[in-house]
Amino acid sequence: MSRTPPLVWGLLVSGVIGVSFAGAILQHVDQIPPLMRASWRLQITVLMLLPVAIWQWRSMELNAKKRMFEKKTLAILLASGFALAAHFATWVASLDHTTLAHSLLFVTSHPLIVLFGLAIWVRKPSKLETIGAIIGLSGAFIALLDIKGDGDVTLLGDSLAFIGGITVVGYIVAGKILRQWMPVFVYAVPVTLIGAIILIPFSYLMGESTAAFGWVESDLLGWFVLLAFLAGIVGHTGLNACLRWVSPLTISVSVTLEPVIGSIIGYVFFDAGMPGFWTWIGGPLLILGVILVVKGGVKDELDIIDQ
């Protein structure tokens, strides 16, 4: 295996920091209802990604271009877009009903969810995965002790964030399938566009009255542009680009730091407040559990790569 270029590690660090800004900024612009807030974020991201996607499209081989329009590819892209929309709808809504730290902790717990799916349908978890799941779930239950009748942490908010973690799994699986042959920007643009469009009618169905393309003349446009750039371009796209040089395991473990970094960003720049007592205890356990689950699955991950 060739040595990883030093700049890639810088890209990885930048990517993790970039995605960690998302929660704090999305919570900061809560004047916009959650579903439309999510749609605006995705719409602006599409515009930023589009020029590079066009360049990548032009450089693709003819067979790959034809493959883009196969029924299977279109179905996966559509499913990925739906999963992305569901992820953003529930996660952004959670930011209005719980603390930033809790939202980030529960939305990044998806490796635990994947493990349960594997245990039911595919294989028996390894010893390390089992230990990680026990530690992670224990941490989650301890963190939930911060829920109070008049507090900022609520069961509704934490549940929405957890559902956001579940729904993002579909987006991740679709990406792993298509990114084997599809350039990252060519993949990201249609999926992000589908997600943005799906959120618009659901926003109106939920009684949100904000204009679908109101970001064009919104006073908050600067924040949404910054959000799309940091989280969408530097963050998610940067991490996807890192897959060329580093393993998915390395990226998955790195992203588990998002609740820590995101909470610090929220506290320093957006007055998000400090996590509660039980979150200080349960949060690190939840993160540790996720890391152990991810690390415990490395053998199976390598087997998949070899195939």
Alpha carbon distance 22, 223 (integer Å): 10
pLDDT of residue 149: 58
Q: Look at residue 39 and tell me whether its pLDDT is greater than 60.
A: yes
Residue with tokens 């499913």: 79
Alpha carbon distance 135, 112 (integer Å): 10
| Interval 70-115: pLDDT, tens | 999 999 999 999 999 999 999 999 999 999 999 999 998 878 877 7
Nearest to 90 by CA among 167, 6, 186: 167
Alpha carbon distance 82, 158 (integer Å): 21
Alpha carbon distance 45, 226 (integer Å): 10
Alpha carbon distance 124, 217 (integer Å): 53
Nearest to 292 by CA among 169, 101, 111, 104: 111
Alpha carbon distance 65, 59 (integer Å): 10
Strand, helix or coil for residue 146: helix
CB 221 within 8 A of CB 31: no
What's the one-letter identity of residue 30? D
The DSSP symbol for 208 reads: -
Confidence of residue 150 (pLDDT cuts 50, 70, 90): low
The token pair at 239 is 């991490």
Mean pLDDT, range 177-192, rounded to an integer: 89
Characterise 264 by phi-psi region: left (phi > 0), alpha (psi -120 to 50), beta (else).
alpha
Identify the weakest region by mean pLDDT among 39-53, 129-143, 153-167, 238-252: 238-252
The token pair at 63 is 């067979």
Strand, helix or coil for residue 268: helix
The DSSP symbol for 275 reads: P
Residue, of 299 and 188, whose pLDDT is higher: 188
The token pair at 48 is 């930023």
Q: Look at residue 147 and tell me whether its pLDDT is greater than 80.
A: yes
Output the CA–CA distances (angstroms, integers) from residue 193 to 51, 74, 119, 121, 273, in the order listed: 14, 13, 33, 32, 34
Alpha carbon distance 299, 293 (integer Å): 12
Domains of the chain, by residue range, sit at 6-110+154-275
CB 173 within 8 A of CB 118: no
Q: Which residues contact 39 (CB under 8 A, 6 or more apart)?
A: 196, 197, 199, 200, 203, 212
Mean pLDDT, range 42-71, rounded to an integer: 94
